[in-house]
Amino acid sequence: MIEAFETLKQLVAAAEEDVQKAAGGNKAAGTRVRRAMQDIKNAAQTVRMKVLEAREESSE
């Protein structure tokens, strides 16, 4: 679970520069941000599943 969370943090940190560029009006950076957000969404879902798995294992 920790590894999945670390991956999520890295994806968010990597997108930061492009988010700022997109806010400044850079359209190419906006495209990269949208792609990064999709990756972040998928990584967040993975973290969510790992948390649920850990909770189910601890309740057994």
Residue 45, token pair as written in the block: 């879902």
Judged by phi (left if over 0) then psi (alpha if -120 to 50, else beta), residue 48 lies in alpha
Give the 3-state secondary structure of residue 44: helix
pLDDT at position 60 over 90: no
Contact (CB, 8 A) for 39 and 11: yes
Domain borders along the chain are: 2-59
pLDDT in tens, 24-52: 999 999 999 999 999 999 999 999 999 99
Q: What is the pTM of this model?
A: 0.87
Residue 37, token pair as written in the block: 């957000």
